[in-house]
Each structure stands twice: as structure tokens, then as C-alpha cells.
Amino acid sequence: MKQLSIWARQISPSLTLAISAKAKALKAAGKDICEFGSGEPDFDTPDFIKEACIQALRDGKTKYLPSAGLLPLRQAIAKKYECENGLTGLSEKNIIVSPGGKFSCHLAVMAVCSPGDEVLIPSPYWLSYPEMVRLAGATPIFLKTTFASAFKVTVDDLRAAKTDRTRLFILNSPSNPTGTVYSKEEICALVDYCVHEGIYVMSDEIYEALVYDGVQHFSPASVADYFPYVITTGGFSKTFAMTGWRLGYSVAEKGIAEAMDNLQSHMTSNATTFAQYGALAALQNEALSKASVESMRQAFDRRRKLLYSGLSAIDGMRVFKSQGAFYLFPSIENFGASSAFADKLLQEQQVAVVPGIAFGDDTCIRLSYATSDATIEKGIERLQTFCKMYHL
């Protein structure tokens, strides 16, 4: 066989998807697995959204759409950003609907990065960012953050890493894997620096609806001076428990949005037509949506507290109290490297977690609390037993 391309050779498989697949296979084989690996809500998509999609199928909405998406959906997304996120002057021309938030991020990177460019990524990071950057021929530059700094970067970190080739800064608040949420002031300081230096910002806000303890989500694109430099990405997966629908979106200045649409038109064409009708219902039925999202958010919040207090009671584990998304990212430094820890934990106690090394930090593990209270309680007991033995 001839050698594969440089793109195929440099890409690694998604470790989070691999771990979830392994845990699912063990479950299917009858093992009693406590699953903390998965990055998806355990809730089902609200019925009114499903019904709208089913109706669209019955109505024959089974054809191609314009690649940027269904017009009323793009308009509804523009309205959502104006009403909820404080952006102004948007039209459908600023909005691209894509097959998943992951693809929205990919398009954003492809739209502004060229070979030789550098992209600043706070670490630990969502594991797809570096791969997307490499697929654009650019180089990821990691900005290390720590437990002590609440896993946040500062302007000094950006300044120290910036070179003539710096093209893009990736901000993800609330963050996967740490769950950290930047304040408005912190985001403005970072984006202000980028705008002054002519650096684009991709603001991945896919977890925007999942914040706790009264903290507020902030979209930097709501600042008029920042808007031309900020590509905002989001989606339906996490907010509306629609991971399998594969629907994401991006908001950008018209020239960038048009470039993203051109790329998408050759890479996938439009996101699934009838799925977009379900998404439209999610945005149009405000009262129903708010109620569903709020009840999921409250359940996540309860589980976050349950998992946090359980893990904090384990000797040798240090737990960062996240305020967003549905992950905790405790330090297991006292027990050694994260992959060995996660492997043994799955083998010996049937608890699936993701080793922090997948996100660029080998001292932590990621636990998703998008799972039942009963699983959390059982998982904590098993972790306690495991950590006692691991000490010896």
C-alpha cells in the first residue's frame, strides 16, 4: 500500500469516543460499568423537538437545503444571539448551520488559518482543537493552565506565546474538560489583547446554557469592536440533549461566514434537512425550551455537587470546583499518570473515566456527571475503594 497522506498520518483517533465505545461494549457484555466517560447528556431530546422533526419528514422535508442552512433557522439563531447573548445587527448572513458544533469549530479554523500559522490553545483543551489546527496545516501552541489558576489563561500568557505567525486564539468557556467559566472581565481582557494584535478568536460556547452557582456566561462577540475578530461556535447537542442530531452553528462577520459556507458547501453540503426543523422548534418555542433546558441544568447542578463532595472526600484527590459544562477534572497527581490510573480503574472497579492526558494534562482525570445520581453514588464508592488500594 502506498503511504497515506500527511493529514491521515498525523491525525489520532478521538480518545473520548474510544473510551465511551469501550465502556459501552463492556456494558453490552453484561458488566456493571459506572460510566463517567461520555460527553453527552443522559437525557432524551425533548418531545416537542422530536415531533417537529417527525412532522417535517411527513411533510416531505427530505431534500437539499442551501448549504448554510434553513433560512428561518438561521434567522432564529440570529435572534437568539441578539436576545440572549447581546450581539447586535445580525442577519442570517452571519449564521452558518453545520452538522455538529465540532464541524462548526473545524470550519472556523479552516476559514482563518493557513499552513505556517500558529494557534493559541489553553491547555487542558478539548481534544479535537489541536487536530483541527493541524488539519489546516497550522501549529497548535499550548498555553498551560493549572488547578491553582482555576485552569484559566491570562493576557500575560497570550503575550508570552504570541509570535508574528499567531493567527487565532481558541477560547472555550464553559470549558471541556475543566468546567471552568471565565468572567466577562477576564474574557474582555483576553479578547481585547487579541483584537489589538490582529489575532482572531474562536469562542466555542457549546456549553453556554450549563453554568452554575449564579455565574453568567459571556459572549465576546457582543462587544461591537470585537465582533469582526470573533467567530462564535455553538450547537444543539448539549443544550437540548441532541448529540445524535448533529447540529451546530457559527456566528461570524459576513466575509468569514461566507468563507465558512463555501468550505461547507464542498465538504458536506447542508446539515440534515429534517433535523433542522426540529432545531427550529427548539428555538421558536421559548417557553417549552426554557423549561426543558432549566430542568436539565438543575439536574446537572445537583449531580455536580454530589460528585464534587464525593470525590473531595477521597484521600489524595484534589477536586477543582467547576462552575460550567458537565465535567469535573480532579487531580490524581498523588496516584501517578492518568492513563495507567484510568485503565486500572476500569479493569478493577468497572469505572470509566477519561485520562487527562487526552486533554494535555496527565495529572488529572475527567469525569462527566451527565449520568444518573445512582451511578454517581456507586462510582464514588468504587473510586474510594480503588484509591485506598492504589495508595498501597
DSSP string, 143-187: EE--GGGTT---HHHHHHH--TTEEEEEEESS-TTT-----HHHH
Contact 256, 53 (CB under 8 A): no
- Residue of the chain from 178, 237, 270, 289 that contacts ligand PLP (CB under 6 A): 237
Pairing of β 230-235 and β 248-251: antiparallel
Cβ burial 336-369 (10 Å sphere, 16+ → b, else e): eebbebbebbbeebbbbbbbbbbbbbbbbbbbbb
- Residue of the chain from 23, 34, 36, 39 that contacts ligand PLP (CB under 6 A): 39
- Our CB check for ligand PLP shows the closer of 193 and 249 to be 249
Closest CA to 329 of 357, 297, 293, 371: 357
- Residue of the chain from 45, 94, 176, 264 that contacts ligand PLP (CB under 6 A): 176
Contact 207, 73 (CB under 8 A): no
- Our CB check for ligand PLP shows the closer of 73 and 314 to be 73
Give the integer Cα–Cα distance in Å for 108 and 327. 25
Give the integer Cα–Cα distance in Å for 279 and 251. 16
- Our CB check for ligand PLP shows the closer of 244 and 336 to be 244
- Our CB check for ligand PLP shows the closer of 39 and 46 to be 39
Give the integer Cα–Cα distance in Å for 347 and 324. 30
Burial class for 188, CB neighbours closer than 10 Å (0-12, 13-18, 19+)? middle
How near is the Cβ of 170 to ligand PLP at its closest, in Å?
A: 10
Residues that contact ligand PLP, how many (by CB under 6 A): 14
- Our CB check for ligand PLP shows the closer of 101 and 124 to be 101
Mark the segment that binds ligand PLP (CB under 6 A) among 45-53, 235-243, 293-301, 384-392.
Answer: 235-243
Closest CA to 218 of 87, 74, 80, 79: 87
Q: What residues from 314 to 373 belong to the interface with ligand PLP (CB under 6 A)?
A: none
- Residue of the chain from 38, 203, 243, 323 that contacts ligand PLP (CB under 6 A): 243
- Our CB check for ligand PLP shows the closer of 174 and 379 to be 174
How near is the Cβ of 101 to ligand PLP at its closest, in Å?
A: 3
Considering Cα of 235, then 282, then 84, then 263, what sign does the dihedral take? positive
Instruction: Specify the DSSP class assigned to residue 318.
Output: B
Q: Is 204 in the site for ligand PLP (CB under 6 A)?
A: yes
- Our CB check for ligand PLP shows the closer of 176 and 350 to be 176
How near is the Cβ of 176 to ligand PLP at its closest, in Å?
A: 4
State the cell numbers at 303.
Answer: 449531580
Q: What residues from 95 to 134 belong to the interface with ligand PLP (CB under 6 A)?
A: 100-102, 105, 126
Mark the segment that binds ligand PLP (CB under 6 A) among 94-102, 257-265, 340-348, 371-379.
Answer: 94-102
- Our CB check for ligand PLP shows the closer of 140 and 235 to be 235
For residues 246 to 285, the per-residue mask of contacts with ligand PLP, x marking binding by CB under 6 A and - elsewhere, is --x-------------------------------------
How near is the Cβ of 335 to ligand PLP at its closest, in Å?
A: 25
How near is the Cβ of 171 to ligand PLP at its closest, in Å?
A: 11
How near is the Cβ of 150 to ligand PLP at its closest, in Å?
A: 17
Within the chain, what is the greatest distance between any pair of CA atoms? Answer: 64
Whether omega before 177 lies within 30 degrees of 0, making that bond cis, reads yes
- Our CB check for ligand PLP shows the closer of 207 and 390 to be 207
Q: Is 206 in the site for ligand PLP (CB under 6 A)?
A: yes
Say which residues have a Cβ less than 8 Å from residue 179's Cβ, sequence separation at least 6.
Answer: 320, 322, 323, 324, 325, 326, 327, 328, 329
- Our CB check for ligand PLP shows the closer of 271 and 307 to be 271
How near is the Cβ of 292 to ligand PLP at its closest, in Å?
A: 17
Q: Is 77 in the site for ligand PLP (CB under 6 A)?
A: no
In the chain, which ranges are continuous DSSP H helix? 6-10, 15-28, 47-58, 71-84, 101-112, 128-135, 155-161, 184-197, 254-267, 273-284, 286-312, 338-349, 373-391
Binding site for ligand PLP (CB under 6 A): 39, 100-102, 105, 126, 172, 176, 204, 206, 235, 237, 243, 248
